[in-house]
A and B are shown apart, each in its own frame.
Chain A
Amino acid sequence: MLRMLSRRGEPSRDERRIIVTLAAAGIGAVLPVTLITPRGAGVVIAFLSLAVLAVPLYALQEFRRNVIRRANADERERRRRDEAYRLSYRVIEYGMPLTALVLIFSDELGRIPGWQWSTLWLVVFGYVIFLPYMIFAWREPEAAPD
């Protein structure tokens, strides 16, 4: 994890993909976990979920800071970043309405207790914010040896 703190020590493609998978699965798992949790235990579960999620999200955030959003990113990196933003927008553009329609027609939305809507929004925001970085980290080729 600490190797991501320096640009030269960035993670391999496999490591990046593991981080992305953990982060994506972790964000997605927050909702079903809280839905099956009794209201009283919700806060505990939320903290536990965040604690488990913190590791891949921290790794993704470090990758974002050191590689994706570097101030002196060169033209190749800027192009890859733009591609990731574009692809992310496409996924959200089609994925979110589709998911909403599925939930509406399966009547799942009505089963979500009012106090858990905030969790749903948390999951949505988690994906919206981290999706471009997940896509970038997933697609970036293996680093070239020096």
Chain B
Amino acid sequence: MARTASPEPTLFNRLAVLRAERGLTRQALADAVGVNYQTIGYLERGEYNPSLGLAFLLAEFFGVPIEAVFSREPLGPMSTELYRRSA
């Protein structure tokens, strides 16, 4: 049987928005979750998919469910989702 390459699935995230909301620098967020500040940049730009552990750590840091931070589908604005749920 031929082996086929399995590219990593695209993962979308709201890290940049969440970080900006809290007025954090990449360095501050990186220090909080124990990674290099550049890794935060790569995560925000979608150039790196985090491990499950790091994804949970980031969600816990922002105090939101993991699905509010990471998704397999493109994420819309948080305000839209918030009003949709409250309506």
Contacts and interface: CB of A to CB of B under 8 A. Distances in A.
B27 A77 contact: no
A146 interface: yes
A145 interface: yes
A50 B41 CA distance: 38
Interface stretch (B32-40, B59-67, B71-79): B32-40
A141 B42 contact: yes
Contact of A76 (B27, B35, B44): B35
Given A146-B25, A146-B26, A76 B42 contact: yes
Main secondary structure of the interface of A (DSSP, over half): loop
A36 interface: no
B54 interface: yes
B42 A144 contact: yes
A144 B38 contact: yes
Nearest to B33: A74
B51 A75 contact: yes
A104 to B, nearest CB: 32
Contacts of B25: 146
A144 B51 contact: no
Interface residues of A, number: 11
Contacts of B50: 75-76
Contacts of B44: 144
Nearest to A145: B41
A73 B34 CA distance: 10
A84 to B, nearest CB: 15
B35 A74 contact: yes
Interface of A: 7, 73-77, 141, 143-146
Given A74-B35, A77-B36, A146-B41, 19 more contacts: A7-B36, A74-B39, A75-B39, A75-B50, A75-B54, A76-B35, A76-B36, A76-B39, A76-B42, A77-B39, A141-B47, A143-B38, A143-B41, A144-B40, A144-B42, A145-B41, A146-B25, A146-B27, A146-B37
14 contacts: A73-B36, A74-B34, A74-B35, A74-B36, A75-B39, A76-B36, A76-B42, A77-B39, A143-B41, A144-B44, A144-B45, A145-B41, A146-B27, A146-B37
